[in-house]
Amino acid sequence: MINNTILVIIFILIYEFFLYFSLLNLFKSSFKIYKKFFLIFKKKDLSENQKEKLIIFYSKSLLQKSSKILLFFITVCSFLFLINFYLDIFLTLLDIVEIFKITAILLIYLFIRSKFNVQL
């Protein structure tokens, strides 16, 4: 029971961290930049200097967004590694019943969280 509680708290913290980094927006904006980036090569009306400036601009933007995404994954993985090193509770995740329990609890958390956000 304690392991389940700790796991739920860990996954709720990871979810909140996911929202804090606004990871979905980072992925969406990265894909938009990739589209623009590849469209540069198809455009014939741009000069080489304009293309070069746009490529540098888009590359800087992609580097910034990719760094944030990488920082998120490194932080979460190191957090999970440290928790597993000290508590050794992630072996319980191998059981399918535990996966359904945690999923159900996280869905309940999302439902409660959405209700509180509407009222605020």
Q: Which residues contact 76 (CB under 8 A, 6 or more apart)?
A: 14, 17
User: How confident is the model at residue 118, as a pLDDT?
Assistant: 53
Amino acid at 103: T
Domain count within the chain: 1
**Does residue 113 lie within any of the structural domains?**
yes
pTM recorded for the entire structure: 0.73
The answer to whether residue 102 is domain-embedded is yes
**Has residue 57 been placed in a domain?**
no
Asked if residue 21 belongs to a domain, the reply is yes
**Span 61-101, pLDDT tens digits:** 999 999 999 999 998 888 888 887 777 766 666 677 777 88
- Residue 91: the pLDDT is 64
- pLDDT tens digits, one per residue of 10-60: 888 888 888 888 888 999 999 999 998 888 888 888 888 988 999 999 999
Q: Within a domain: residue 71? A: yes
